[in-house]
Structures are given as structure tokens and as C-alpha cells.
Amino acid sequence: MPEQGFQKWIITLTVILASLLELIDTTVVNVSLPQIMGNLGATLEDVGWVITAYSIANVVILPMSGWLSSRFGRRSYFTFSIVLFTISSFFCGNAANIWELVFFRFLQGIGGGALLATAQAILMETWPKEQHGMAQALFGLGVVVGPTIGPTLGGYITDHFTWPWVFYINLPLGVIAMLLTLQYIKDSKLQQRPGSVDWLGILLLVTTVGSLQFVLERGESEDWFDTNYITALTLTSIICGCLFIWHELRVESPVVNLRIMKNRSLAIGMFTTFILGFGLFGSVFIFPVFCQNLLGFSAQQTGMLMIPGGISTILMMPIVGKLLQNKTSPRLMATFGFTLFFLFTFFLSKSNMNSGEGDFYLPLILRGIGLSFLFVPLTSLALGALEPKDFAQGTGLNNMMRQLGGSFGIAIITTLLHYRQGFHRDHLVAHMDIYNPAMTSKYNDMLNGFIGKGFSMEQAQQMAAKALDGSIIRQTYMLSYLDAFWAVGIFLILSIPLIWMQRPKRVVVPVDSH
């Protein structure tokens, strides 16, 4: 039975608080990595595992969360996940070396991934069917805003305190979420306790998604399939994935009920959610790197730039929820969202070396509004036609696809940047000859400038050549980032037809007799 009044809102606050813990921690640690490297004596490759371990744990646990919730009881499982996340946060901040930190980040990811899917299932049972749009809007605040404000919060904490406080800040929030859960969250009356434990399914699932996530996280830095173990893990993921699907469709009590994917809206919705993850996490990844590495913005400057977009999302989410509640077409709203997101990438693709903070506020606000018009309608399209007993499994699969979409997006964008940097550098260098008037004029201006500062002709020639090469490198990076912005935008706009293949289920609103 859906809840009413105070009970409904306190449960909503509880699950959103728990979700925010997980979602902010997805990105909050990123800006602290240089300080962690220096403090723990880790290499760049070692510290990368702080991110990788958390991501792998998240993706592994998400599809199993529905089964685990049924097996141990939703209230107990949700409470355990909060406790695991909170305790792991303490040990992350207290880590004495990099591998201790990686281990507790993995445990933190297991607790955090469980929070996400279970929280969404709780919300869908807590709110009446006709108000699911508003419930998803409130949940979406955490999903969209969490990764956006994570770098801002992490940068502030790192600049004003020390990196362990990036983890310690979770402790009071975790305790509050745990106490609220024990007081207000109830076990689901719709879930049935599964029979025997599907050990083989669990093993195949962990191997499949764990291998895939590892390949996506580490593939680009390891030159992809030029590295033997990346190739081996890719084959492992494919083979075990096929075996997992075959096994889960045959076993009586599967760890992941793939039969619910016979629901057309869920099956297509998982792909559109994947695309949303691609755009959400891909843009959060590429934009800060672009601003800091190329335009010279500080971490705090970049973080502050993200705030107007986040505020736009916060303001629009309830409006989008209300529009859905008033029967506005979710497919039309999602199309509008993808269009706004395309405009965001279009404006960024017009950037240049002189672009300043003021040039990015409008695109980021468009992104923020676009995400609000994407998350809620896409979630409603994917999950709206499910039976209540399938909410937990559906939310787990849907959230996993969003996380995988983000991982694929970051991997593809990173690879594209690497490829296009080589292409543009070769193209620019090819025009560096004495017969190119623009290049000759720029070189002579630099040469005369250094001579005017008192350097000898030989010194000035060396410095002018070095400065010219630096200019080419910056231009190479700029053109590569612009290509990446274009690629994300085109991918999203071409995905719109998928939305119209879904069939939203009509919600019958009960007549209030009072």
C-alpha cells in the first residue's frame, strides 16, 4: 500500500539522502587524487584504482540488488548497505596506504550501489501509481545533481581541509540515514523470498560485469587490445555474459530475473537509460578536463561553473514531475531533453582558446534543464509498465545500464580524444613550412619578440620554435575536445527514435470519494 502524508515524505527524504551519499561519492574523490598520490606515495596508475574499484563494485551489485533485497528483506538490506557504506567511508579516510584505500573503496561501492537501486524501488512502492512521475523527479535530483556537485564539493574540501574529509563527511549523513531507515522503512509486502541461492548465476554475473567494467575503466590507458589481459578480460566478459543469460533463463530462482525484459518498454528503456548515462557521466568527465587542462581554470572555478546548471535541474525536476502527473507525453519531454542536451554540446563545440567563464553558463543551464527532461520521462517509460513485484529487479537493471553507459561514454570519449589528437597534430604539422604565410608570420613575430627581450638570435630561434610547437599542441587539444563535444551531441540526437519505440502505459487515476 502506498504511504500518505508525513510518512510518505519522511521515507522519500530518507531514500534520497541515502542515494545522494552514493552518487556524490561517484565523483567527489576525483579532484582529491593528486593530494592522495602525494600523501600515500602512490603513482598515477595506482591512484586510478581508487575510481576503478568503486565503479566495478557499483556495477556488480546493482543487478543483484533486487534479489538480495528479497532474500534478506528490504529494510535489513537497505540498513546494512548504509552501514557498510558509512563504515567503509571511515576506513577510506583512515587508510595508511593506497591499496588499503582501494580495498575500502570497493566495499564502499558495494554498499553504495545497493543504496541506489533499493532506494528507487522503495520510492515506487511508497508513492501512488499516479504520482510516480513526481517520485522519480525527486529521486532524479540525486541522480543528476550528485555527480554534478561532487567535483565542486571535493575541490572545496580538498582546498580547505585534507583529503580524508572527502570520506569523513559521509559519517554523520550515514548515521542519520541509518536511523531514519530503522524508524520508517518497512519490508516490501510484494517481494517473495527466493528459493535456492543461484550461486552459478552470481558467479557468472560478477565475472561478466566485473570484467566488462574493468576493461572500460583501464582499456584506454593500456592501449586496449594491444594488451593481452585486456583482450582476455573482454573475451571472458562476452563468454560469461552469454552463459549468464542462458543460465538465468533456465533456472527456477534466478539472481537476476531477465524474463521481465519481455516487457518492451523496459527492454528499450534500458538502452535509453544507457544513453542517458553516456551523456550525463561523459559530459561531467570531459567538461572539467577541458576547462582545467586547456583553458587554465582552477578546480574551484570549474566547480562553480557547474552550479547554475545544477540549480536549473533542481528547479525543473518538480515541474517535470508535475507535467508527467498531468499526462504530458514522456516521449515528447525526453525528445525535448535530448534536443537541449544537443544544444549544450553544440555551444561547447564553438569554444576557442579565449573562451571564459561567461561563455559556458548558458550551455550548462541548457544541460541542466535537458537532464531534468530526460531522467524522469526515461525512467517512467522504462519502469512504468512493470508490475509492482518487479520494481526491485527493474530498478537494479535500469541503474546498472546508466552506470555502464557512463563507463562506456568515458572510455569512448577518452579514446576519441587520443585518436583525434594524433589526427589534428599531423594535419597542423603538415602546414608548418616556410611556404605557409600564416606560420611564417607567427614565427617571425615570436622571434622578434624574444630578440626584443634581449635574447641572442640562436636563443630566440630555439624559444620561438618551442613556443610555436606549444601553440600547435594547444590547438590540437582544442580541436580534439571540440570533436568530442560534437560526437556526444550527435550520438544523443540520433538516439531520439528509440524513445518513440516505447509504449507508455496509461495510468488510471482512482476517483477520490472524499
Decide: 324 and 133 in contact? Cβ < 8 Å: yes
Residue 158, C-alpha cell as written in the block: 580538498
pTM of the predicted structure, to 2 decimals: 0.72
Q: How far apart are CA 376 and CA 38, in angstroms?
A: 41
Q: Average pLDDT, whole number, for the chain? A: 78
Domains identified in the chain and CATH numbers: 1-136+148-195 (1.20.1250.20), 261-505 (1.20.1250.20)
Q: How do residues 356-382 score in pLDDT, each as one tens digit?
A: 888 888 988 998 888 888 877 887 777
Q: What does the alpha-carbon distance between residue 130 and residue 248 come to, in Å, rounded to a whole number? A: 33
> In the predicted model, is pLDDT for residue 254 greater than 50?
yes
State residue 445's pLDDT score: 66
More confident position, 282 or 512 = 282
pLDDT in the model for residue 84? 92
Say if residues 28 and 131 touch (Cβ distance below 8 Å).
no
Find the distance separating the first CA and the last CA of the chain, reported in whole Å. Answer: 18
Which pLDDT belongs to residue 151? 67
Q: Which of 10-14, 158-162, 193-197, 246-250 has the lowest mean pLDDT?
A: 193-197
Lowest-confidence pick of 154-163, 177-186, 305-314 = 154-163
More confident residue, 156 or 498: 498
More confident residue, 235 or 321: 235
Amino acid making up residue 185: I
Residue 68 CB partners (closer than 8 Å, separation 6+): 61, 77, 114
**pLDDT at site 505:** 57
For residues 71 and 338, the model is more confident at: 338
Return the pLDDT at 235.
92
- What the block records as the C-alpha cell of 17 is 539522502
Q: What is the DSSP letter of 216?
A: H
Is 339 in a helix, a strand, or coil? Answer: helix
**Which tops the pLDDT comparison, 513 or 338?**
338
Quickly state the pLDDT bin for 503 (edges 50, 70, 90): low
pLDDT of residue 468: 65
Three-state secondary structure along 78-145?
HHHHHHHHHHHHHHHHCCCCHHHHHHHHHHHHHHHHHHHHHHHHHHHHHCCHHHHHHHHHHHHHHHHH
Q: Is the distance from CB of 75 to CB of 185 less than 8 angstroms?
A: yes
Span of 36-40, 200-204, 243-247 with lowest mean pLDDT? 36-40
Q: Residue 91 has what pLDDT?
A: 92
Q: Which pLDDT value is given to residue 446? A: 66
**Is the per-residue pLDDT at 197 higher than 90?**
no
pLDDT tens digits, 430-471: 666 555 666 666 666 666 676 776 667 766 766 776 766 667
Q: What is the pLDDT, as a whole number, of residue 511?
A: 35
Measured distance CA(134)–CA(322) in Å, rounded: 6
Cα angle 314, 86, 28 (rounded to 5 degrees) comes to 45
The pLDDT value given to residue 87: 93
Residue with grid cell 520494481, as numbered in its chain: 391
Chain segment 285-297, per-residue pLDDT in tens: 777 777 777 787 7
Helix and strand counts by DSSP (H, E) for the chain: 19, 0
Q: What is the pLDDT of residues 396-430, one digit of tens each?
A: 777 778 777 877 777 788 788 778 877 877 776 66
Q: Contact, 38 vs 162, CB < 8 A?
A: no
Q: Is residue 198's pLDDT more than 60? A: yes
Q: Is the pLDDT of residue 67 over 60?
A: yes
* Rounded average pLDDT over 197-213: 82
**Structural contact between residues 85 and 111, judged by C-beta atoms closer than 8 angstroms:** yes
Q: So what's the pLDDT on residue 241? A: 87
Residue range 74-79: average pLDDT?
85
